[in-house]
Amino acid sequence: MTNETRNSPADDPRPNPFTVDDMLALPRLSSLALSPGGERLVVSAAREADGGKKLATAIYELDKDGEKPPRRLTRSRPGESGAKFAPDGGLIFTSKRPNPDGEKADEEDEKPSLWLLPNEGGEARPLIAPSGGVASFAVAREAGAIVFSAGMAPGAESGEDDAKFEKAREDAGVSAQLFEGYPIRFWDHFLGPREPRLHFVAETPEGEGIMDGAKDLTPEPGRSLDLSSFDISPDGATVVSSRWNDTEAPTERRLILIAIDTETGKERILADDPDAWYSSPAISPDGKLAAAIREEKSTPEGPGDHTLVLFDLESGKGGGEAGGGEAGGGGRDLLPGFDMWPSGAVWGDSKTLFFTADAEGHSPAFRLDVVESGNVVRLSGEGAYSDLCPAPDGETVFALRSKVSEPPRPVALDARAERRSPRLIPTFEGTPDLPAKVERVVAEAGDGSSVPAWLLVPPGASKDEPAPLAVFIHGGPLNSWNSWHWRWNPHVFVNEGWAVLLPDPALSTGYGMDAIRRGWGRWGDVVYGDVMDAVYGAEGREEIDGSRAVVMGGSFGGYMANWVIGKTDRFRAAITQASLWNLENFHGTTDLGAWWEREFGDPYKDLTRYRKQSPHSNVAGIKTPTLVIHGEMDFRVPISEALTLWTDLKRHGVPAKFLYFPDENHWVVKPNNSRLWYETVLGFMEHHARGGAWEKPELL
């Protein structure tokens, strides 16, 4: 095993406590936004509220030069988020706060509305308040026009019609739905009875009505705009959006790309490719070009690649002048030969795009010359970047950066230099002083491939007093350990004396397509082998006690923890959250079951791959004490998986416990639930791996 120290030197023990409460006290920053002229920078910060029962978000203005502390701009019990600037510097955001001039309503019944905080200051005022709430929105950077997504009742021709539909259902006490298409639910909610539609307002509304004259750009859309993303041109004349193609066949559904004329409502197709789907469109500042993510269709024979494509909005064809071939379905491939997956693309000027991509344990920011050279320049080194905000002068890109050892914080990158360290913008309490150093380690797999990982070792661990090992397996599986984590925070475990290993086995992103192909459809052999090889490498260090190891993970990581304990009893305990257990049954209950056929094939014709890779087939060999964790509102991995796992474990006499959250989805987010999660997990590990007495959390 080779290693590279990434932050603290080896002789710095850093004996600083970092408890769950310390973690939960940190503000969770997101949605960085820069005003069109580059004068103002704002960020959303979520903190504990209502005694730890929820997180509430407020919007703060940052001093780009770092000389003044953040200034809070919004304040309400429900919170505010998703801020975007109007051309005049006003701040538009979403909030569930009630209309001050409206009828008093139960806070729990409020839906997100659009609000405006004027640039000159004063009170925020409501702009748009559809009965079904605003899901997302975009603002034209020159015209100030707004396009927003809001659900409407099927057949409704106005906001008033939709409100009447809702009231009629409430008065009748009806919550039933009739579904006719697939899928019927997503993540943690059912899709309906309202249909998502795109609405347009040409100028900032006065906020006196339900929809204030908003134009319905997509009447009678059916379910075609579920999971769509969109942008609006600077002059407000064009909206580019993804939407589902016209088919009822689940395995043939794909996201296509359309352009909508906001004056006439006329649609035209920019990209409709049977071998790909499109998302995250972004229109250039001159309104002539649109970039989007193109995801090639995966099959059981191999994964599809991701790239950025470009369209000329006038002709609908590939735009610009730089090299790069036509992508299937139209558009020009902007990243030919780029062996990483782009995301979060935003325009600087109309010749330059900025984006992020996972890369070898990081997620750096990149600059792409769209028109002239086609060159890609990596702007940053360490860390995971998001929310890129290019300044109009072309010199700076503001962003949020996090690391395994650092929660998200705002930074300023040099937009023209390669791999420069960013300038940190001070906010709130600053970066916590964490107890452990974080190292980059690499093990060798059986076939000679590299298995990289992050390793955290608690201060004071030594040959004489080695630390027990906690192995975290990431979810996805197309994912990577490269940033701060609130749900699986390794520093909390280090604080309790655990060494933590964060491996990136085959299927992890940021290591090129070959690393993904290597594990494609081979979860139980190649990916499992990589995880174990990473464990063998870590436990060979004298300051780590591999005989007291615990394996754990969520979602795909939970799947892999289930698989591991079915193949070996070398771990003292396992924690498996929101985990896949019986792949054959999972296909029919998860929200997007048909999507899994892209990797495992058609189960109605051949179940071989599902059965071969399913952890439940190994249940007879499981002896490892197991903590099962699941949320009732999880539709990605339905609770039926946990119930089956629990029944199978108890039926086979495995020492097990089941931590159930009736009010959480695929994640555990509410602060007090998070406290219970950590208390239960750490107590279970302490009992089974280190011989401590089991102490049931007081509130359970």
pLDDT tens, position by position, 92-110: 999 999 877 655 555 556 8
pLDDT of residue 319: 53
CB-CB contact of 338 with 376 (8 Å): yes
Sign of the dihedral defined by the CA atoms of residues 502, 508, 511, 517, in that order: positive
Measured CA to CA, the distance from residue 547 to residue 572 in angstroms comes to 8
CB-CB contact of 399 with 408 (8 Å): no
Residue 471, Cα to own-chain centre: how many angstroms? 22
pLDDT of residue 54: 96
**Token representation of residue 663:** 């009010």
**Token representation of residue 146:** 């707004």
* Amino acid identity for residue 390 in this structure: P
pLDDT of residue 646: 98
Nearest to 503 by CA among 476, 549, 538, 555: 538
**Token representation of residue 78:** 């429900």
Residue 95, Cα to own-chain centre: how many angstroms? 21
CB-CB contact of 388 with 376 (8 Å): no
Beta strands in 394-543 (DSSP E): 396-403, 406-414, 423-424, 437-444, 450-457, 467-473, 499-503
Instruction: Tell me: pLDDT of 322 over 70.
Output: no
| Domain boundaries of the chain, sorted by first residue | 437-690
**Token representation of residue 58:** 């407020």
Measured CA to CA, the distance from residue 478 to residue 298 in angstroms comes to 13
Please state whether beta strands 656-661 and 573-577 pair in parallel, antiparallel, or not at all (unpaired).
Answer: unpaired
Residue 696 class from Cβ within 10 Å (0-12 exposed, 13-18 middle, 19+ buried)? Answer: exposed
Read off the pLDDT of residues 58-92 as tens digits, 9 standing for 90 and up.
999 999 988 899 999 999 999 999 999 999 999 99
**Token representation of residue 679:** 């208390």
Instruction: Tell me: pLDDT of 306 over 90.
Output: yes
pLDDT of residue 320: 47
DSSP letters, 555-612, are THHHHHHHHHHHH---SSEEEEES----HHHHHHHSTTGGGGHHHH--TTT--HHHHH
3-state secondary structure string, 44-69? EEEEEEHHHCEEEEEEEEECCCCCCC
Report the mean per-residue pLDDT for the chain.
92
pLDDT of residue 208: 54
CB atoms within 10 A of CB 694: 10
**Token representation of residue 55:** 């997180």
**How many helices, marked H, and strands, marked E, lie in the chain?**
11, 39
CB atoms within 10 A of CB 322: 17
Please state whether beta strands 195-201 and 189-190 pair in parallel, antiparallel, or not at all (unpaired).
Answer: unpaired
Measured CA to CA, the distance from residue 589 to residue 612 in angstroms comes to 19
CATH topology of domain 437-690: Rossmann fold (3.40.50)
Please state whether beta strands 573-577 and 544-554 pair in parallel, antiparallel, or not at all (unpaired).
Answer: parallel
Measured CA to CA, the distance from residue 37 to residue 119 in angstroms comes to 13
**Section 413-422 average pLDDT:** 95
pLDDT of residue 3: 41
Q: How confident is the model at residue 669 (pLDDT cuts 50, 70, 90)?
A: very high
Measured CA to CA, the distance from residue 42 to residue 73 in angstroms comes to 9
Q: How confident is the model at residue 632 (pLDDT cuts 50, 70, 90)?
A: very high
Read off the pLDDT of residues 575-612 as tens digits, 9 standing for 90 and up.
999 999 999 999 999 999 999 999 999 999 999 999 99
Nearest to 580 by CA among 604, 605, 618, 554: 554
Measured CA to CA, the distance from residue 68 to residue 97 in angstroms comes to 29
Measured CA to CA, the distance from residue 545 to residue 695 in angstroms comes to 24
Element (H or E) spanning 646, and its range? helix 639-651
Q: How confident is the model at residue 324 (pLDDT cuts 50, 70, 90)?
A: very low
Measured CA to CA, the distance from residue 62 to residue 65 in angstroms comes to 9
pLDDT of residue 211: 66
**8-12, 59-63, 408-412 — which is least confidently predicted?**
8-12
Residue 5, Cα to own-chain centre: how many angstroms? 28
| 8: helix, strand or coil | coil
pLDDT of residue 326: 52
Instruction: Tell me: pLDDT of 210 over 60.
Output: no
Instruction: Tell me: pLDDT of 203 over 60.
Output: yes
Secondary structure letter of residue 157 according to DSSP: -
Angle in degrees, CA 598, 600, 602, rounded to 5: 80
Residue 467 vs residues 346, 348, 460: alpha-carbon distances, Å:
44, 48, 9
What pTM was computed for the model?
0.94
Measured CA to CA, the distance from residue 201 to residue 354 in angstroms comes to 29
Read off the pLDDT of residues 138-182 as tens digits, 9 standing for 90 and up.
999 999 999 999 999 999 999 899 999 999 999 999 999 999 999
* Amino acid identity for residue 270 in this structure: L
Nearest to 399 by CA among 70, 31, 26: 31
Q: What is the chain's Cα-based Rg?
A: 25
**106-110, 117-121, 447-451, 545-549 — which is least confidently predicted?**
106-110
Residue 576 vs residues 224, 402, 509, 553: alpha-carbon distances, Å:
35, 26, 22, 6
What contacts 494, CB < 8 A, 6 or more positions away? Answer: 18, 434, 435, 436, 456, 457, 458, 500
Residues forming beta bridges with residue 437, ordered by sequence position: 457
Instruction: Tell me: pLDDT of 516 over 50.
Output: yes
343 — phi, psi (to 5°)? -155, 165
Percent of the chain with pLDDT over 90: 87
